[in-house]
Amino acid sequence: MESSFAILAEPNRRAILSLLASAERSVGEMEQRLRMPQTSVSKHLRVLRDNGFVEARVEAQRRVYRLNPKPLQEVDAWLEQFRRFWSRHIDALEKHLDRMDAPGAGKKARK
Amino acid sequence: MESSFAILAEPNRRAILSLLASAERSVGEMEQRLRMPQTSVSKHLRVLRDNGFVEARVEAQRRVYRLNPKPLQEVDAWLEQFRRFWSRHIDALEKHLDRMDAPGAGKKARK
DNA sequence: ACCGTACGTGAACCAATGGGTATATACGCG
DNA sequence: CGCGTATATACCCATTGGTTCACGTACGGT
């Protein structure tokens, strides 16, 4: 049960996730895009997989990885408590957050 | 030049930040609220200070710490690239709520 | 059946870091 | 001035975590 923050503390892992944000990628693809050794990529992927940040599917000899957003959503949720420090000035964002704010509590239409 | 994520990887530091999210606090206050040794609190505060997460003001023998949101905003900004992975769900929820909201005449407050 | 490609994994190595203990500094008070 | 309170820091130690090297495995083409 590592914290998601601990996983994201590693720069190479963040790079991998950023890559996967735009598209699915095979290991070799990440290897050359990020210019890092394959074993390093594989190990980071292992950590990301074990913690639910990515999922893989087998395609011949390749493993194609795709992003799983759930852990990142948790990080986003943790940040919630601090948003009031900067969101006051950004009305559009505030409205967006307000809407996310109603998790089935039944108060859908504020204002 | 440490990544903000590396700073947030530490659970106690996150606890400190959460505390400071609600109010300014002195070191001793955090010490007892978090039930952790003072030297530990001080060390984590040092890291948080050096990385711009908190600022301190001197008040007699006390140091009162307050939150500085900028580094957290950067984290929030990094998450931006992933928001599309769950904003679709939010949109769906939004539409659902809108539909419940306006059963006959369409006043949808979209945008 | 081989051989190269594509990944994963285990072991050894090394640097960074958090916790604990002891100590240093700063301040207010009697 | 000496003492207690409040906080910071230096040092040591144990652990963690990332990198590299070497090897293992699975698959497809020829």
Mean pLDDT of B91-100: 54
CA atom of A100 to C1′ atom of C17, Å: 37
Q: Measure A37 CA to nearest chain B CA, in Å.
A: 22
Give the per-residue SS3 of chain B. CCCHHHHHCCHHHHHHHHHHHHCCEEHHHHHHHHCCCHHHHHHHHHHHHHCCCEEEEEECCEEEEEECCHHHHHHHHHHHHHCHHHHHHHHHHHHHHHHHHCCCCCCCCCC
Identity at B75, one-letter amino acid code? V
Report the candidate in B50, B41, B32 with the shortest Cα–Cα distance to residue B10: B41
B93 falls in which pLDDT band (50, 70, 90)?
low
- Show which residues sit with Cβ under 7 A of nucleic chain D: A 2, 6, 9-10, 12-13, 36-37, 39-40, 43-44, 47, 58, 60-61; B 26-28, 31, 38-39, 41-43, 45-46, 56, 61-63
Q: What is the pTM of this model?
A: 0.81
What's the mean pLDDT when you consider all of chain A? 85
Question: How confident is the model at residue B100, as a pLDDT?
Answer: 52
- Nearest-angstrom CA–CA distance, A82 and A91: 16
Report the candidate in B52, B29, B23, B24 with the shortest Cα–Cα distance to residue B42: B29
Question: How confident is the model at residue B50, as a pLDDT?
Answer: 96
Helices (H) and strands (E) in chain A, counts: 6, 3
Residue nearest C17, CA–C1′ metric: B10
Question: How confident is the model at residue A28, as a pLDDT?
Answer: 96
| Inter-chain CB proximity A75 and B75 less than 8 Å | yes
pLDDT in tens, A22-58: 999 999 999 999 999 999 999 999 999 999 999 999 9
B111 falls in which pLDDT band (50, 70, 90)?
very low
